[in-house]
Homo-oligomer: A and B are copies of this chain.
């Protein structure tokens, strides 16, 4: 038994049995150890952004971490953007990053780099296993760190000689589960009083507060007190659709957000943070709340959010109320030109119950909620950190976690190209994922932003940086190049037909929706 075997055993002993991987030479002993453990499901991504984004999607749906296997500093670097998103989503992940043998580092071989400096910005926990004797203990520490609430990113740098050297597995059993502190009862009472004060109040929730049961309780709290319930602008996972409360999100567009809070007097945060602009704009404030608005947090990190929401319900007194659940209803399907709205309505009609919707539609999907409050119940997963290139990997990981549920990806064309390699993993693993490409042939969001800058009509250089035409991407060809069946839709009717068919079959399918 060597250090790599101990690492592998420790992961399995702690119910981490999926490893998203793109290994290299320095991780070859870990690969050999994984090969000796068929219980571990190894999923190859053809680029590390796929690996880490899939681990994020997996964690959001499985409520537990997967491992990733990354090759030295550059392999980690390729995965950082989606680790950034995972960090913002509160997704637990255990990264294993290979490094040279300890004694080899001093020679600064070509692939040597400062892995710690690269890992730190995306890692809540960071360790370096320099010896096979400490691999077991450090893996346990990494797992414990990843499981903190909300979920955390733990990165264990594994030196090649720590992997290949013999050692004894002295594990004393699984890592105990993370202990949640009970939210302060005084704070629960304070929030309850605030809600009953008659001031104009918005409750902003995220994380576990957006699961069905908590949403039900929060909706009743809102009904009892006249407060408005909203979800944070971007959330790791939100349960919605018919039979669940219809909850909107804080708008992305800054003026819309400012308008939404213009007369808000107090905000109750549940896992969420006080809303700020995604970006700063000249002459616009950074904070979305009026200066006079007071802010109260129901729970601090590490506190039991579910219990706190229940306690708040009791304190407010909601047992006599029913949540206001969304009815099963869909807008009429429009015909003719294919638009983002027509796509949303077609989804409202054809999404099967318990679908998982992975949204990286960027500007094209902003009105998706309006059309789908009455769709079949589904989980809605977002781009939480703004680092584009998450959608296709996220769907890949979500489908690995939930093989019996249909996954639907809403994917903008520009951001889809970032991690397009994920389609191959979907084909290899025969994942039940329908990918919808919003093919507007441009970075549409940036055209709007350029307009906001007051730059007038884009000239040659701006168009060269913001447009994806000349040549147009052929997504049907790209998908088929990676083994995913695909078709193009150019009308609302054509799209609805393709979507209906794709939702009835199993396996990966891509629709290039020309909008």
Query: Which positions in A face B, CB cutoff 8 Å?
Result: 21-26, 28-29, 31-32, 34-38, 40, 42-44, 46-47, 49, 69, 73-75, 77-78, 80-81, 84, 88, 100-101, 103-104, 107-111, 113-114, 117-118, 120-122, 160-161, 164, 233-234, 273, 276-280, 282, 286-287, 384-389, 414, 417-418, 420-421, 424, 427-428, 445-446, 449-450, 452-453, 455, 458-462, 464-466, 468, 470-478, 480-483
Contact = CB atoms under 8 A, between A and B. Distances in A.
Contacts of A458: 35
A475 B481 CA distance: 6
B446 A471 contact: no
Contacts of A101: 280, 286
Given A28-B446, A118-B121, A287-B107, A465 B280 contact: no
Contacts of A22: 465
Contacts of A42: 461, 464-465
Given A279-B26, A475-B481, A74 B78 contact: no
A449 B122 CA distance: 30
A157 B351 CA distance: 44
Contacts of A384: 110
Contacts of A69: 465
A151 to B, nearest CB: 17
Nearest to A106: B286
Contacts of A122: 113
A28 B445 CA distance: 11
Contacts of A73: 80, 84, 121
B23 A107 contact: no
A161 B118 CA distance: 26
27 contacts: A23-B466, A25-B279, A26-B279, A28-B446, A28-B449, A28-B450, A28-B455, A31-B465, A34-B461, A35-B455, A38-B460, A49-B78, A73-B121, A74-B81, A74-B387, A77-B80, A100-B280, A104-B277, A107-B276, A110-B386, A417-B424, A471-B482, A473-B483, A474-B480, A474-B481, A474-B482, A477-B480
Contacts of A117: 117-118, 120-121
Contact of A385 (B24, B110, B482): B110
Contacts of A461: 31, 34-35, 37-38, 40, 42
Contacts of A88: 110
Given A77-B80, A446-B24, A32 B386 contact: no
Contacts of A476: 481
A77 B81 CA distance: 6
Contacts of A282: 161, 164
B427 A421 contact: no
Contacts of A389: 47, 78
Given A46-B417, A279-B26, A286-B103, A462 B111 contact: no
A388 B77 CA distance: 12
A459 to B, nearest CB: 4
Contacts of A34: 461-462, 465
A430 B120 CA distance: 40
A279 B386 contact: no
Nearest to A114: B121
Contacts of A449: 25, 28
A237 to B, nearest CB: 16
Given A74-B81, A117-B118, A427-B471, A450 B386 contact: no
A21 B465 contact: yes
Contacts of A26: 279
A428 B471 contact: yes
B100 A113 contact: no
B468 A46 contact: yes
Nearest to A32: B455
Contact of A81 (B43, B78, B465): B78
Nearest to A384: B110
Q: What are the 5 closest A-B residue pairs judged by CB atoms, nearest first? A: A471-B483, A74-B387, A477-B481, A101-B280, A478-B481
